[in-house]
Chains A and B, each alone.
Chain A
Amino acid sequence: GAGVSQSPRYKVAKRGQDVALRCDPISGHVSLFWYQQALGQGPEFLTYFQNEAQLDKSGLPSDRFFAERPEGSVSTLKIQRTQQEDSAVYLCASSSRDRGSTGELFFGEGSRLTVL
């Protein structure tokens, strides 16, 4: 498809399990962002990639969160030893321009993570 694709759309994990969330950005988009959206809140920044380089990971809440984009296209957000407070929608967004140029992002539908 032409848009940002995320999978899985829904994930239920037991506390302590590891999860991996995938993002397939719009083809050719150099910038890729991960955001976390808790229920009833706005999206909160997690991390930013320009091509394969992770230029900003200041929003990652703990060292249990890890993201990669090894070939500058598909990205994976991994959460180790999930906790209940990790329950949220994880949004991926991409842009054809570098981060500083614009805030015009194209978002995927999100991956809703529920940790029991």
Chain B
Amino acid sequence: GQQLNQSPQSMFIQEGEDVSMNCTSSSIFNTWLWYKQEPGEGPVLLIALYKAGELTSNGRLTAQFGITRKDSFLNISASIPSDVGIYFCAGLWSSGNTPLVFGKGTRLSVIA
């Protein structure tokens, strides 16, 4: 089946640093999304991308839909302690008949 490869698997950063993580796929996706999950909670949508090459921001978060449609990245600027969590990329292969596929996540730890 379709698989999404996320990297890095985990990262430890100092408060105030910028963060970059990415997601690649062997398949083309029509939609890329980034979710964040905190302990004991369900994933929460951060950013959705619908066009190849699209660059979208949500506060300190910026995500891009790769032009090959096989990758996406997420940047977090000036990290703060509440950015701690697991960040999942997710891809939707086509409209109508396929489920949303998730990567395995990037675990972010922020050291104050």
Q: For A108, list chain B residues within 8 Å (CB).
A: 42
Which of the segments A64-72, A74-82, A97-105 contacts the partner chain?
A: A97-105
> Which of A40, A102, A107 lies in contact with B42, CB distance below 8 A?
A107
Q: Count the A-B residue pairs with Cβ separation under 8 angstroms: how many?
A: 64
- Residues of A within 8 A of B (CB-CB), count: 28
Question: Shortest CB–CB separation between residue B84 and chain A, in angstroms?
Answer: 16
Cα A36 to Cα B99 in complex, Å, equals 13
Interface check A44, CB cutoff 8 A: yes
**B92 closest partner in A (C-beta):** A103
Interface check A18, CB cutoff 8 A: no
Cα A99 to Cα B31 in complex, Å, equals 12
Which residues of A are in contact with B by a Cβ distance under 8 Å?
Answer: 4, 33, 35, 40-45, 48, 56, 58-59, 91, 93, 98-110
